Amino acid sequence: MSLNNENQVVSEFNELNIFDRNSNSLKINHENCYDPDNYKFWCKECVPRCIIEGWTSGNDDVDNFIKDTIYNVSHNFEDPFFLEWVPFDRFENMKQIGEGGFAKVYSATWIDGKAVYYKQDDGSWIKKEPEPIEVALKRLNGSQNMSSDFLNELKTCWNFYIKSHAVCLKLYGITRDPKTKEFIMIMQFADEGNLRSILSSNFNNISWHDKIKYLCQSAIDLKNLHSMGFFHKDFHSGNILNLDNESYISDFGLSGPSNEQKSDNKIYGVLPYIAPEVLNGEPYTLCSDIYSFGVVMAELSSGKPSFHNRKHDTSLALDICNGLRPEFGKGTPEIYKKLAHRCMNANPNQRPAANELQGILGNWWGYKDNEKYGYKAKEVEAAFDEADKEIPNILTSYEKNSDAIYTSRAFTFKNLSKPINSSFISALYLNDEEDNKDCQDSQLIDLEVPSTSKLDGKYNLLYDDNDN
Ligand SMILES: [Zn+2]
């Protein structure tokens, strides 16, 4: 934006701030619209005009969605935070860094960086000097017409951001490739990469304390998503990203409200992480995300992606329905295996809810006693300290079967058997007495995170719900 535009904004805003020209009967005093202590910055009428006007994405739905985030900028942020429309030529140094089933991801320099506005004493808004930042650009394959699926991904990502009080990977805005016309999400860049690549390059240096931290932080994200009534639907180690040694879940391409499911009879995802009931054609539930979480737990323990040594085909799907589960690394504490196997229970109702996972993992991570879950801090610490001694001895190199595929894709399976637990795992790790617990209902209750507290890191979110 040029300096001239900025000056224009300022003068228009001042006029609006004095009185409302368009209303004879109802005078709005816009001084009251600005109340940062209560996260209020402007109303629909006194938004700085340059933010709202002078741009279009070329798609009304996208424009309206971006404008909604601007009008409704009142969500616990210290400065107004909203989505931006950014022309594609404001990015340089684009490099492809990843490819998922439905998108390509690039790193890039955003020349102007995120727009930051702050209010001056005279009531006008001023834009901070642009500062280049590194971002991730997620190109949504085939999004030229911005179908409802793509719009849904944007909305989920934004709503999750609000729900998480910004303690998640940020969505900054949207751009569009003028050549292909595809829409591109502008995201915070997770410079440490995804959990799968971190494990493959550095497994022998990651202590159990760090593994628990990664899991706990992912559980917080999952809990926030579930508390929106949404499931992730594509939870795997390639979608857990690390930034500043903290883990964040990403990629809401398949996420959606749990009460609005597609009925195209196709199963989407990365096969080893898909819950057996879903493979078997049952509807996806919040509990199906928890199964995937258990598979990630096994991966953190062994350092290798589950079922890397075999084809990801119907035969594997059948074996999973018959109770086959991923292997754990040598020395893994029994309490850890037990929790992971609970997540991977063939009976979805027996899996823990995301807030219980967060509670347990939070206590393990923080070395806290927890009567509710029956863990003693000293014993937990000793078990994980002992397990740390084995980490340097765990071999992490492996040969991947060329048909073991870790990007999301669509499957159809026929004639799988009803999912069961293996008798071996049941005997060692599962306690199937509490058969009547309803997983989905219990997950949807008591999951609200406090909406008033200012949160500057995931650690603050940890102990909120332990005593629910
Ligand atoms: Zn106003």
Query: Are 424 and 307 contained in the same domain?
Result: yes
Query: Are 380 and 241 contained in the same domain?
Result: yes
Q: Evaluate if residue 313 carries a pLDDT over 70.
A: yes
23, part of any domain: no
Q: What is the pLDDT of residue 453?
A: 33
Q: How far is CA 353 from CA 29, 53, 286, 350, 437, in A?
A: 47, 44, 8, 9, 11
Per-residue pLDDT band for 465 (boundaries 50, 70, 90) equals very low
- The response to whether 128 counts as a known ligand-binding position is yes
Query: Are 178 and 201 contained in the same domain?
Result: no
Which of 7-11, 233-237, 329-333 is predicted most confidently?
Answer: 329-333
3-state DSSP assignment of residue 127: strand
User: Which amino acid appears at position 57 of this protein?
Assistant: S
Q: Evaluate if residue 280 carries a pLDDT over 50.
A: yes
Residues 288-298: what's their mean pLDDT? Answer: 97
Q: Evaluate if residue 210 carries a pLDDT over 70.
A: yes
End of a domain among 163, 188, 213? 188
CATH number for the domain including 70?
3.30.200.20
Count of the separate structural domains present in the chain: 2
Query: Are 161 and 99 contained in the same domain?
Result: yes
Query: Are 176 and 233 contained in the same domain?
Result: no
Q: What is the pLDDT of residue 260?
A: 55
End of a domain among 188, 209, 225? 188
Q: How far is CA 108 from CA 68, 132, 243, in A?
A: 26, 10, 16
Question: How many angstroms separate the alpha carbon of residue 43 from the centre of ligand 1?
Answer: 4
Query: Are 440 and 303 contained in the same domain?
Result: yes
Q: Is 409 exposed, middle or buried (0-12, 13-18, 19+ CB in 10 A)?
A: middle
Question: How many angstroms separate the alpha carbon of residue 120 from the centre of ligand 1?
Answer: 16
For the ranges 68-82, 100-114, 163-177, which has the lowest average pLDDT?
68-82
What is the phi/psi pair of residue 436, to 5°? -95, 5
CATH number for the domain including 332?
1.10.510.10
Q: Answer with the residue of higher pLDDT: 171 or 295.
A: 295
Bridge partners (DSSP) listed for residue 186: 137, 173
Question: How many angstroms separate the alpha carbon of residue 312 from the centre of ligand 1?
Answer: 56
Residues 279-295: what's their mean pLDDT? Answer: 94
Question: How many angstroms separate the alpha carbon of residue 59 from the centre of ligand 1?
Answer: 27
Cα separation of 252 and 164, whole Å?
Answer: 14
13, part of any domain: no
Question: How many angstroms separate the alpha carbon of residue 41 from the centre of ligand 1?
Answer: 8
Residues 271-285: what's their mean pLDDT? Answer: 94
Query: Are 218 and 144 contained in the same domain?
Result: no
3-state DSSP assignment of residue 436: coil
Query: Are 322 and 342 contained in the same domain?
Result: yes
Question: How many angstroms separate the alpha carbon of residue 83 from the centre of ligand 1?
Answer: 19
Token pair for residue 237? 């180690």
Residues 317-329: what's their mean pLDDT? Answer: 96
372, part of any domain: yes
Kindly report, residue by residue over 339-390, the tens digit of the pLDDT: 999 999 999 999 999 999 999 999 999 888 877 778 888 999 999 999 999 9
Query: Can you spell out the DSSP letters for 365-400?
Result: HHT--BTTTTB-HHHHHHHHHHHHTTGGGS----PP
Instruction: Give the pTM.
Output: 0.82
Cα separation of 49 and 278, whole Å?
Answer: 48
Token pair for residue 235? 């939870």
Question: How many angstroms separate the alpha carbon of residue 386 from the centre of ligand 1?
Answer: 60
243, part of any domain: yes
Residues spanned by the domain of 163: 30-188
What percent of the chain shows pLDDT beyond 90? Answer: 51
For the ranges 101-105, 164-168, 396-400, which has the lowest average pLDDT?
164-168
Residues 312-319: what's their mean pLDDT? Answer: 96
Helix, strand, coil percent values for the chain (each to nearest 5)? 40, 15, 45
Query: Are 58 and 126 contained in the same domain?
Result: yes
Secondary element (H or E) of residue 289: helix 286-302
Helices and strands (H and E) in the chain: how many = 14, 14
Q: What is the pLDDT of residue 108?
A: 97
Per-residue pLDDT band for 31 (boundaries 50, 70, 90) equals confident
Which residues lie closer than 8 Å to 286 by C-beta, 6 or more apart?
226, 231, 258, 353, 354, 439, 440, 443, 444
H helix intervals, 72-207: 148-163, 195-202
Cα separation of 390 and 372, whole Å?
Answer: 30
7, part of any domain: no
61, part of any domain: yes
Question: How many angstroms separate the alpha carbon of residue 126 from the centre of ligand 1?
Answer: 16
What is the phi/psi pair of residue 27, to 5°? -90, 125
Dihedral angle of Cα 106, 111, 113, 116, to the nearest 10 degrees = -160
Kindly report, residue by residue over 33-92, the tens digit of the pLDDT: 888 888 888 888 888 888 889 999 999 999 999 999 998 876 666 778 899 999 999 999
Kindly report, residue by residue over 229-267, the tens digit of the pLDDT: 888 888 999 999 999 889 998 887 666 655 555 556 788
Question: How many angstroms separate the alpha carbon of residue 31 from the centre of ligand 1?
Answer: 7
How confident is the prediction for the chain on average, in pLDDT? Answer: 83
Q: Is 80 exposed, middle or buried (0-12, 13-18, 19+ CB in 10 A)?
A: buried
Query: Are 176 and 236 contained in the same domain?
Result: no
Query: Are 72 and 152 contained in the same domain?
Result: yes
5, part of any domain: no
8, part of any domain: no
Q: Evaluate if residue 404 carries a pLDDT over 70.
A: yes
Query: Is the CB of residue 61 less than 8 Å from the CB of residue 151?
Result: yes
Strands (E), 180-239: 183-188, 230-231
End of a domain among 156, 173, 188? 188
Residues 116-125: what's their mean pLDDT? Answer: 84
Q: Evaluate if residue 133 carries a pLDDT over 90.
A: yes
Query: Are 44 and 138 contained in the same domain?
Result: yes
